[in-house]
């Protein structure tokens, strides 16, 4: 997961966080989205980490 | 480096306002390389070139080179569609060359994109650019 964040000063919600996801970094990015509030970004990171943990569990 | 020179007024060289400069700043770094080290460098370059494209669009607008300024601003918008300064740079070009309708169209495009993607309105800074165009 790569998060690039910047601030749009003057906006009612100034955070901009563009999130790019890949399961296999060698295959490129699979999805991309932009979020504007911290809880949403945190939730996306948490979900991604849960996926990482689940995918890493032994069969 | 081109991008650094554009971001430091007084340091630019003659060739820095050329079509080649716009092309250079429009390119991602190693676009098909996804190794960790390449991704980090690519993100750093992406951020740098976004700022440089904004600066280049402003310099070209001030020089009266509106076609090139439009190209630079559109490259910035394409690279990061939700970045307001890129849209503001494009609107300033249109206003500088007297294309008020295009300036308003560009603003409306950004406003609709921001609304559909994030449910937000543009900031007062960019609204101020087109304020005079909205008065009856």
CATH code of the domain covering residue B113: 1.25.40.10
Question: pTM to 2 decimals?
Answer: 0.79
Nearest to A2 among B32, B39, B125 (CB): B39
Contact B82 A16 (CB under 8 A): yes
Block residue for tokens 């390389």 = B33
First to last CA, chain A: 24
Distance of CA B113 to the CA centre of its chain: 16
A19, β-bridge pairs? A3, A33
- Alpha-carbon Rg for chain B in angstroms: 16
Length of chain A: 59
What span, in angstroms and rounded, lies between the C-alpha atoms of B53 and B6? 8
Full residue range of the structural domain in which residue B17 is found: 2-134
- Return the higher-pLDDT residue of A59 and A27: A27
Query: What is the tally of structural domains in chain B?
Result: 1
Query: Per residue in B12-40, pLDDT tens?
Result: 666 667 777 777 777 665 555 556 666 67
Min Cα distance A59 → chain B (Å) is: 27
């Amino acid at each position: 997961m790569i998060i690039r964040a910047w601030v749009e000063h003057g906006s009612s919600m100034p955070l901009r966080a563009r999130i790019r996801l890949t399961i296999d970094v060698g295959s490129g990015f699979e999805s991309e989205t932009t979020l504007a509030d911290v809880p949403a970004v945190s939730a996306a990171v948490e979900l991604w980490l849960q996926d990482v943990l689940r995918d890493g569990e032994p069969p | 480096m081109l991008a650094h020179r554009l971001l430091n007024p007084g340091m630019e060289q003659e060739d820095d306002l050329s079509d080649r400069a716009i092309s250079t700043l429009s390119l991602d770094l190693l676009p098909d390389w996804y190794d960790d080290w390449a991704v980090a460098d690519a993100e750093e370059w992406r951020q740098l070139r976004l700022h440089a494209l904004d600066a280049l669009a402003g310099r070209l607008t001030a020089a009266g080179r509106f076609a090139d300024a439009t190209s630079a601003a559109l490259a910035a918008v394409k690279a990061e569609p939700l970045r307001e300064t890129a849209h503001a740079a494009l609107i300033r070009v249109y206003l500088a060359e007297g294309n008020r309708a295009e300036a308003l169209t560009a603003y409306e495009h950004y406003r609709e994109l921001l609304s559909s993607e994030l449910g937000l309105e543009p900031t007062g800074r960019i609204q101020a650019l087109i304020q005079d165009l909205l008065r009856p």
